[in-house]
Structure 1
Amino acid sequence: MSSGPLYLGFDLSTQQLKAIVTSSDLAVNSEAKVDFDADFKEKYGINKGVRINEDEGEVYQPVAMWVDAVDLVLSRLREKGCPMDRIKGISGSGQQHSSVYWNSDAEATLKDLDPGRSLLEQLGGVFAYEFAPNWQDHSTQKECDDFDAHLGDPQQLAEVSGSAAHHRFTGTQILRMRRRRPQVYESTARISLCSSFLASVFLGAIAPFDISDVTGMNLWDISAKSWNEKLLELTAGSAEGVTALRKKLGDVPLDGGVILGTVAPYFVQRFGFSKDCRITAFTGDNPATILSLPLRPLDAIVSLGTSSTFLMNTPAYKPDPSYHFMNHPTTQGNYMFMLCYKNGGLAREKVRDALPKPEGKEKDPWANFNKAVLETPALDVKNDGDPAKLGLYFPLPEIVPNVQAGTWRYTCNARDGSSPEEYSASSSKTEWTPEADARIIVESQALSMRLRSQNLVSAVPDHPELPAQPRRIYLVGGGSLNPAIARVFGDVLGGAEGVYRLDVGGNACALGGAYKALWACERGGDGKAEGQKWQSFDELIGARWKEEGNIQKVDDGYREREYAMYGNVLGAFEEMERRVLSVAKN
């Protein structure tokens, strides 16, 4: 085993705290985790990592549980034989948008931690509020309405902050805290995001926000690279309150690789870390995901879990209320484009379960679904002149588009997308079978991603002869194991260099954190001296990252005929969404 430097990455998610240690050549050295339900369910009264106040739509977590988990995960890492003294850098990720409220005792307590006592014993009294709102919280509708209206409309808010207002975003959460619990707000000396909270514990001081994670707050002006004064005024309640809120939030370093300091003496003496171990800014879980491999501009990651997420590295900033833009976590001038869907795997499962049950002893519940997908032609157009079929399948209320649960089926002219109309079994000459639903639900999910990303893609430099599309599509999550789903996503989204399954063992966020620490510590110089240049994240990690064992090509991606067919009906798909939204509003 190598005796060189190691780098530690964390992922503080809703249900776990994971730690992963990698070497300079990106090989994994050690791993450990704390599962909140398995380890702390009774102690903290949680279920699936959270507590819920259904009357107010609050979903939250005890901050003490996170503190408790830090000592436990480090103990487990050490028990596994991890050479803690070789760890030279630490970074990580936290669930985006979640916030922690520190009181005036926090800074001094963090600075003077006693290695003879646990973190929980010492940090239990430093929080102005004992809970952190979770990203699932939906208690802030009034605050969202206020944010959307404050700059004029949701489009204006998106142009400034990268997103329209959302329940989980930190700005709306802080505003609700000031209104709902004014005594907490007044006694709050500093506010952290989940990510900067974890960085603060290791730093022994309140850590600043990460330049990418700060853009998940609805408070940061992305183009101006500063806090937005008008949004701060809304959140603080008055112009006079802005100064105090700025102090609570702190300054934000623009460099994603800034070294914040060295690890607190507590961790040196209690767990054997080197006193020279450096801490860099921790980021959000979604930004950390795109750091888990050297994602180049025009590459996209599609997460196919219970929910679905589309992430892309892009130099273009074209915000819209229906999706999110965030600063790239390591590359200034680049952005992270993100789409979030509630309806992913659950919606596909419902369509799967409605299919006729297979005969014989077939036990794989997806075999019948996959057969239906692959045997159904694109848009279920079997012959020239057949209409194209389009659908929306939302067993849960959806974010994109923002509609309640329901299923809608439409047809349109397959050649140009003209004449979109809602499908009716009683009046249509076209049959719509459960087998068609299997193909169309996957197409629907991919078409939504293509519709919203189409203005951000361009011709891939190495493939100028092809139409604009992503360079590569990387699939992660449970759905990435399904070859039929991979085939349809390649048909719809393209992928000039193919569709790949990314396998990082469920540790993408922690791994992205470890890579971020490695890059910050090994990129060279300080970037300030004349002629001196930092090595970029993509250059450093890309030179060391090995595709073998990490990714597997699962589909060829771009196919001319199919890609053109889906492009022809994209306008009809958008019109279907518009009509569904119009009916929902009425």
Structure 2
Amino acid sequence: MVTSPVLMWVQALDTILEKMKASGFDFSQVLALSGAGQQHGSVCWKTGASRALTSLSPDLPLHQQLQACFSVADSPVWMDSSSTAQCRQLEAAVGGAQALSGLTGSRAYERFTGNQIAKIYQQNPEAYSRTERISLVSSFAASLFLGSYAPIDYSDGSGMNLLQIQDKVWSQACLGACAPHLEEKLGPPVPSCSVVGAISSYYVQRYGFPPGCQVVAFTGDNPASLAGMRLEEGDIAVSLGTSDTLFLWLQEATPALEGHIFCNPVEPQQYMALLCFKNGSLMREKVRDESASGSWNEFSKALQSTEMGNSGHLGFYFDVMEITPEITGRYRFNAEDQEVCAFPGNVEIRALIEGQFMAKRIHAEGLGYRVMPKTKILATGGASHNRDILQVLADVFGAPVYVTDTANSACVGSAYRAFHGLAGGRELPFSEVVKLAPNPRLAATPAPGASQVYETLLLRYAKLEQRILSRTLRPPE
């Protein structure tokens, strides 16, 4: 069980606001605020907690006044994976993993909130019965600013295995499979760009916020990052870090057994998809050390010295069990799809990078992604500083790659979303709100002939991936 103390989060808010106050920050200039919380965490408010929220004294910090307000003191968070039994129960209740994905955008995942709530109900029914409201971390933080319970927004709500992403309502079948009276404990969900109320008088009196400061629905950290990176329809963001993450802007939802589809945080009628790959930068660093003497400069030279398509050589590099697809081991194939035990160093490096990006494109297309004429790719994370890696990304996806200096994209996205909500939310396109923000820099464009090269390779890569997945033998060392 992996948890965080709820009061730690409350005290963190106290601390940051006191530091801002001590630094002379002028709270009276804040017209609206929004925020982001780590996805999949939840907070259980004890019966009677709403009275404490609505009667906060400006003379005391929040954590002193809210100590007795939580029926579960330590909240399960996204790293927890102890609810496997509840996941299987939920999938069985709705007709299987694919049926659940079609309803909620994802098959059952241990960290998703519905399964965590089911575990609390089954293992600690007294605490559940003492709970009058369940918040996500995001709506919990919004509740602190509102001085009353804030609703869960559509986008973060889609990471619960409970929200019907097409209809934007709680699934009665999923609620019933998790715990009784759950709908009233969750409250109705709202569009992510909704103004949910004015700031609590506590903040007006203690810090000097204006009484008319509007609170825009908080959302999850991943949806807030999509807003911060200013993705638009057809765009893709690739975070190249310790693990690699893809964010996709989708017009239509095509839920699958892998990845996640959430409601879009800035356009309520559209969607975002998320795919995570464990074998990211650590895998790239391993191959750099093995095949390029530990030098990124030599690594880049290897990419420059080999041709697009790597003369038909394809590789799969999963030193730790991958999420998408569930494979472990290293596999190399020659141009005739025969497995070989090794590649020359420069071929190995290109096979790794091409393979990583082909896997991302194949699995993104499995969720409904299609390259459009106006598609752009926004690259962030450590490997986005390597122009030769970005060139392969542009070639494989057939779209220009841009980079941005924006750090803390979830924080920036929250500021954009606050402005969007204040400016009219659903009545105003998000792109209008952020049109004056700094533009990302063009880093790479597809080389001539790239689409023809990878059109064939992508089909081969997908077939070879299926061949590896179908094996029952233990993977090679």
TM-score exceeds 0.5: yes
Partner of 1:204: 147
Q: 2:340 aligns with which of 412, 424, 437?
A: 424
CA RMSD of aligned residues (A): 1.9
Partner of 2:357: 446
Q: Does structure 1 residue 248 correspond to structure 2 residue 136?
A: no
* 1:264-343 equivalence runs, <5 A: 264-343=200-279
Going from structure 1 to structure 2, the CA distance change for 1:153 and 1:409 (only over 3 Å counts) comes to farther
Partner of 2:347: 436
Q: CA-to-partner distance for each residue in 1:199-229, whole Å, 9 max, x for gaps?
A: 0111111111011111111111112221111
Shift, 1:520, TM fit: 0.7
What secondary structure is seen at the aligned counterpart in 1 of 2:206? helix
* 1:69-84 equivalence runs, <5 A: 69-84=12-27
What amino acid is the match of 2:417?
A: K
Partner of 1:559: 447
Shift, 1:282, TM fit: 0.3
Partner of 1:42: none
The answer to whether the 8 A contact 2:40-2:160 is kept is yes
What amino acid is the match of 2:255?
A: P
Q: 2:107 aligns with which of 152, 164, 185?
A: 164
Partner of 1:409: 332
Going from structure 1 to structure 2, the CA distance change for 1:182 and 1:568 (only over 3 Å counts) comes to same
Q: 2-side partners of 1:453 and 1:153: how far apart? A: 22
Partner of 1:428: none
Q: Does structure 1 residue 482 correspond to structure 2 residue 382?
A: no
What secondary structure is seen at the aligned counterpart in 2 of 1:378? coil
Partner of 2:422: 521
Q: 2-side partners of 1:394 and 1:77: how far apart? A: 45
Q: 2-side partners of 1:376 and 1:81: how far apart? A: 56
Partner of 2:468: 580
What secondary structure is seen at the aligned counterpart in 2 of 1:445? helix
The answer to whether the 8 A contact 1:294-1:545 is kept is no
Q: 1:536 aligns with which of 429, 432, 450?
A: 429
What secondary structure is seen at the aligned counterpart in 1 of 2:129? helix
Q: 1-side partners of 2:466 and 2:36: how far apart? A: 36
Q: CA-to-partner distance for each residue in 1:244-269, whole Å, 9 max, x for gaps?
A: 1111111112x322211111111112
Unpaired runs of at least 5, structure 2: none
Q: TM-score, normalised by structure 2?
A: 0.94
What secondary structure is seen at the aligned counterpart in 2 of 1:61? strand
Q: 1-side partners of 2:152 and 2:54: how far apart? A: 19
Q: CA-to-partner distance for each residue in 1:312-339, whole Å, 9 max, x for gaps?
A: 1121211111121111112122110211
The answer to whether the 8 A contact 1:474-1:499 is kept is yes
Q: Does structure 1 residue 182 correspond to structure 2 residue 118?
A: no
What secondary structure is seen at the aligned counterpart in 2 of 1:101? strand
* 1:82-121 equivalence runs, <5 A: 82-121=25-64
How many percent of aligned residue pairs carry the same amino acid? 35
Q: Does structure 1 residue 369 correspond to structure 2 residue 270?
A: no
Q: 1:355 aligns with which of 278, 291, 307?
A: 291
Shift, 1:579, TM fit: 2.6
Q: Which has the higher helix share?
A: 2
Shift, 1:399, TM fit: 1.2
Shift, 1:271, TM fit: 1.4
Q: 1:345 aligns with which of 281, 294, 299?
A: 281
Shift, 1:491, TM fit: 1.0
Going from structure 1 to structure 2, the CA distance change for 1:200 and 1:585 (only over 3 Å counts) comes to farther
Partner of 2:437: 545
Q: 1-side partners of 2:183 and 2:79: how far apart? A: 26
What amino acid is the match of 1:546?
A: P
The farther-off stretch of 199-208 and 267-276 is: 267-276
Shift, 1:585, TM fit: 8.8
Q: Does structure 1 residue 491 correspond to structure 2 residue 379?
A: no
Q: 1-side partners of 2:16 and 2:222: how far apart? A: 22
The answer to whether the 8 A contact 1:391-1:409 is kept is yes
Partner of 2:314: 390
The answer to whether the 8 A contact 2:248-2:369 is kept is no
What amino acid is the match of 2:450?
A: E
Q: CA-to-partner distance for each residue in 1:458-499, whole Å, 9 max, x for gaps?
A: 563xx4xxxxxx71100011111111211111111121xx21
Q: 2-side partners of 1:88 and 1:567: how far apart? A: 50
Going from structure 1 to structure 2, the CA distance change for 1:494 and 1:176 (only over 3 Å counts) comes to same
Shift, 1:345, TM fit: 1.1
Going from structure 1 to structure 2, the CA distance change for 1:68 and 1:584 (only over 3 Å counts) comes to farther
Going from structure 1 to structure 2, the CA distance change for 1:208 and 1:149 (only over 3 Å counts) comes to same
Going from structure 1 to structure 2, the CA distance change for 1:146 and 1:579 (only over 3 Å counts) comes to farther
Q: 2-side partners of 1:508 and 1:102: how far apart? A: 30
The answer to whether the 8 A contact 2:135-2:152 is kept is yes
Shift, 1:443, TM fit: 1.4
What secondary structure is seen at the aligned counterpart in 2 of 1:275? coil
Going from structure 1 to structure 2, the CA distance change for 1:472 and 1:216 (only over 3 Å counts) comes to same
The farther-off stretch of 558-567 and 125-134 is: 558-567
Shift, 1:407, TM fit: 1.9
Q: CA-to-partner distance for each residue in 1:552-577, whole Å, 9 max, x for gaps?
A: 21111x33422222221222222222
The answer to whether the 8 A contact 2:238-2:244 is kept is yes
Q: 1-side partners of 2:392 and 2:268: how far apart? A: 34
What amino acid is the match of 1:518?
A: F
